[in-house]
Structure 1
Amino acid sequence: MNLNATMLGQAISFVIFVWLCMKYVWPPLTALIEQRQRDIADGLIHTENAAKELDIAKANGAKVLEDAKKSASELVEQGNKRRAQIIEDAQAEGVKEKARLVAQGQAELESERNRIRQELRAEMSDMVIATAEKLINRNLDTDANRDLVNKLITDM
Structure 2
Amino acid sequence: MNINATLFLQAIVFAILVWFTMRFIWPPVMKALDERAQKIADGLAAADKAKSELATANKRVDEQLSQARNETTKQLADAEKRAAAIVDEAKKRAEDEGAKIVAAAKAEAEQQAARAREALREQVAALAVKGAEQILQREVNASVHAELLGRLKTEL
Structure-2-length-normalised TM-score? 0.79
Is 1:115 aligned to 2:115, yes or no? Answer: yes
Post-superposition Cα deviations, 1:57-114, rounded to whole Å, max 9, x if no partner, equal: 2221221111111111111111111111111111111211111111111011101111
Alignment correspondent of 1:150: none
Partner amino acid, structure 2, of 1:55 = A
Runs of 4+, deviation exceeding 6 Å: none
Is it true that 1:69 corresponds to 2:66 in the alignment? no
Q: What RMSD, in angstroms, separates the aligned Cα atoms of the two structures?
A: 1.8
Report the alpha carbon displacement of residue 136 of structure 1 after superposing the two structures with TM.
2.7
Q: Which residue of 1 aligns with 2:42?
A: 42
Which residues of 2 match residues 73-88 of structure 1 at below 5 A? 73-88=73-88
Aligned to 2:21: 21
**In 2, distance between residues paired with 1:133 and 1:25?**
156
What's 2:56 paired with? 56
* 2:31 match: 31
Unaligned runs of 5+ residues in structure 2 are: 139-156
Q: How many residues align?
A: 138
Q: Which moved more, 1:103-112 or 1:16-25?
A: 16-25
**Paired position in structure 2 for 1:145:** none
Q: CA deviation at 1:3?
A: 2.9
CA displacement at 1:128 relative to structure 2: 1.9
Aligned to 1:125: 125
Letter in 2 for 1:57: A
Aligned-residue sequence identity (percent) comes to 34
Residue of structure 1 equivalent to 2:137: 137
Distance 1:126 1:11 in 2: 164
* 1:89 paired to 2:89: yes
Tell me which amino acid in the other structure corresponds to 2:40.
I
